[in-house]
């Protein structure tokens, strides 16, 4: 089924992904070896987008790291980077009211790290910096500036071992209380 048909059916691809991701949280919380109060979420690219949505809309996610998915709509339009805004993130009626950083701010007071690689061709450096500025400002307004982190290594669109180590340190700090 295509995106248009999903919309005609009254849903979106993002909505289906969100439903699936919430079911994953339900499943994890049902497992005896999982502490349901210390759940984290991370993903690269489209997975980073899904991380932003899940962290914003499900308070059971206590820490998150979105990798390779942060910009502002204005910059995406200026650079005409249509491929970076895929059909999986079409939210009818939302983008004329919110921007991508706003979704991330909705995760506050949850602990959210944004990783944007400065050499990522999908997201211009100015857009990355502006999005981080807006999110930092939103978290400060919410009274939890230390719950937001931004990591901007000089790399292309990736989630390599160095970035994984940075994300794991974020999770250790916010889910295990280590290195705080």
Provide the pLDDT for residue 89: 65
- Stated pTM of the model: 0.88
User: pLDDT tens digits, residue range 148-157?
Assistant: 999 999 999 9
Provide the pLDDT for residue 96: 72
Per-residue pLDDT at 7 exceeds 90: no
DSSP letter at 75 equals: H
Tell me, which fold does domain 3-29+39-176 have in CATH? Rossmann fold (3.40.50)
Distance CA 35, CA 15 (A): 26
User: pLDDT tens digits, residue range 73-85?
Assistant: 776 655 545 554 5
Whether the CB-CB separation of 147 and 111 falls below 8 Å is answered with yes
**By three-state DSSP, how is residue 62 classified?**
strand
Range of lowest pLDDT (24-38, 53-67, 112-126): 112-126
Average pLDDT, the chain: 88
Instruction: List the domain boundaries for the chain.
Output: 3-29+39-176
Whether the CB-CB separation of 13 and 3 falls below 8 Å is answered with yes
Give me the numbers of helices (H) and strands (E) for the chain, helices first please: 7, 4
Distance CA 166, CA 85 (A): 26
pLDDT above 90 covers what percent of the chain? Answer: 66
Distance CA 69, CA 47 (A): 8
Query: Which of the pair, 101 or 8, is modelled with greater confidence?
Result: 101
Distance CA 103, CA 82 (A): 20
Range of lowest pLDDT (6-20, 134-148, 155-169): 6-20
DSSP letter at 158 equals: -
């Amino acid at each position: 089924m295509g995106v248009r048909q999903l919309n005609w059916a009254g849903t979106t691809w993002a909505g289906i992904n969100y439903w699936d991701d919430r079911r994953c949280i339900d499943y994890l919380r049902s497992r005896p070896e999982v502490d349901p109060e210390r759940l984290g979420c991370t993903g690269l690219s489209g997975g980073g987008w899904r991380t932003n949505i899940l962290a914003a809309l499900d308070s059971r996610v206590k820490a998150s790291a979105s990798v390779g998915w942060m910009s502002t709509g204005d910059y995406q339009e200026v650079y005409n980077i249509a491929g970076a805004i895929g059909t999986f993130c079409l939210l009818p009626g939302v983008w004329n009211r919110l921007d991508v950083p706003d979704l991330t701010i909705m995760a506050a007071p949850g602990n959210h790290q944004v990783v944007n690689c400065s050499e990522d061709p999908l997201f211009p450096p100015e857009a990355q910096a502006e999005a981080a500025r807006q999110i930092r400002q939103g978290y400060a307004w919410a009274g939890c500036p230390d719950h937001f982190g931004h990591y901007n290594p000089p790399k292309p669109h990736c989630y390599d071992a160095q970035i994984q180590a940075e994300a794991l340190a974020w999770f250790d700090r916010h889910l295990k209380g280590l290195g705080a």
